[in-house]
Amino acid sequence: MKPLTEPEIRAAFVNCTKGEASRLNVPRDLAEQPWDDLDFLGWRDPQAPGRAYLAAVIDGRTVAVALRSSGAASWQARRSLCSLCVTTHTGGVSLLVAPRAGKAGKQGNSVGAYMCADLACSLYVRGKKEVGTKLHESLTLEEKIERTLANLAAFVAKVTA
């Protein structure tokens, strides 16, 4: 994906207030992110471990989503599957919940999905980050990347619907 800047990311949040978007922790090392190998940028808030964020370019538009993990119970000891990149982890998948954009979010509506706990889906798909067990799939890397992006776009569409 194309490298994103901090102002671009802050301006792209769809499901938090402008104030929250200006205060939340964006990675300091944006320039060093492996952008060529990323389908989206995902990160955990180092000061608030229950918070995570992702930023992506979908249909030419930069979109960022604020996420919360639903606490200790979301860390599962059994093998579980990331709903974005379809990587199987033992204990490395979190249930992340995004308040929906706009009025629905203010009324407490949210969208949840199981995702790689470190949000490094792009690196798992490319084999740049290893997991214990690999699913044997006949998809090519391009197909896996397309699938990840399609899953991400579907998730974001639910958040912004």
Q: Which residue is nearest to Zn ion (CB)?
A: 82
| 116 touching Zn ion, by CB under 5 A | yes
Contact (Cβ atoms closer than 8 angstroms) between residue 26 and residue 6: yes
Please state the length of the chain. 161
Site string for Zn ion, 26-65 (x = CB under 5 A): ----------------------------------------
Return d(Cα 80, Cα 12) in angstroms, integer: 30
| 159 touching Zn ion, by CB under 5 A | no
For residue 57, what are the β-bridge partners?
62
Name the minimum Å distance from CB 114 to Zn ion. Answer: 9
| 121 touching Zn ion, by CB under 5 A | yes
Name the minimum Å distance from CB 42 to Zn ion. Answer: 9
Return d(Cα 155, Cα 97) in angstroms, integer: 11
Name the minimum Å distance from CB 117 to Zn ion. Answer: 9
How many CB atoms within 10 Å of residue 42? 24
| 84 touching Zn ion, by CB under 5 A | yes
Q: Measured over all CA atoms, what is the biggest interatomic distance in the chain, rounded to whole angstroms?
A: 45
Query: Can you give 119-153 as a three-state secondary structure string?
Result: CCHHHHHCCCCCCCCCCCCCCCHHHHHHHHHHHHH
Residue 96 or 121 with smaller CB distance to Zn ion: 121
Binding range to Zn ion, per CB under 5 A, among 41-49, 64-72, 118-126, 152-160: 118-126
| 66 touching Zn ion, by CB under 5 A | no
Q: Which residues bind Zn ion (CB under 5 A)?
A: 82, 84-85, 87, 116, 121
